[in-house]
Amino acid sequence: MKTFLSILILLISAIPDGWSQANPAIAVLPQGPPPMPIFVEDITGRPLSSKLLDDIEGSPFLLPDWNWGAVKFKNGKYAKDIALKFNVYNNQLFFKRGEEAFEFVLPVSEFMIGYQKEGDSVAVLYRNGFPDTERTNGSTFFELLTDGKFQLLKYRFKELRSFKPYNQAERKQFADNEQLYVYAGGSITKIKKDKESVMRALSQYAEEIRVIVEREKLKLKSETDLVKLFSELNKK
């Protein structure tokens, strides 16, 4: 199956000067020449309904601002050089035309957003179409940390929490959460930043994991270590 990463070389030409692919998953380039993508020139969208969220503290969005983006639709076509904003709370992707925000009419399977993080330029890739979990379904977007036979996924989600300041009315706020998953062999499994958790999820590859962990001196207590492990597994 052709993936967004398989046309990444062509999409890179669309990124404004100064952007780079700092995300480990984005650094995975395909073997051989990429297929020629078909780009959608006129994107159809539904105007964003303005639901009042002024009384809720925080933001439902992944990033506060509009950022450069590229999109792959489920029909196999693409759109690039568009301003994107991802609502993590309700799993909705929006694009900007002029000063107005729209929701995509065509179903989206993958999208990439480039933004600045601590002075560095970062590009993150999101994908849906994975099996259901206790919190997600096939339309839920996951951040792709590594691609290949072993996919390391990050599910970001926001919850509404209520709190009551002293001598004030009850208020609500968005609370950030995340959960890591591994997708391999058609199955998706929740994992922790922990060696035993990863080895349980990929028990048939326990020996390969042990060798990589020892060779690379990984503790698997951080996202960086997990990305390194999965990148090495995908080389085999």
> pLDDT tens digits, residue range 126-149?
999 999 999 999 999 999 999 999
Angle at 226 between CA 220 and CA 230, to 5 degrees: 130
Q: How far apart are CA 117 and CA 103, in angstroms?
A: 25
Q: How far apart are CA 134 and CA 206, in angstroms?
A: 25
Kindly list the domain boundaries of the chain, sorted by start residue.
4-139
Q: Which of 91, 82, 84 is nearest to 60 (CA)?
A: 91
29-82: per-residue pLDDT in tens?
333 334 555 545 556 767 766 565 667 888 999 999 999 999 999 998 898 889
Q: Are 23 and 122 in contact (CB under 8 A)?
A: yes
Two structure tokens written together for 187: 């199955």
Backbone angles phi, psi at 5, to 5 degrees: -65, -30
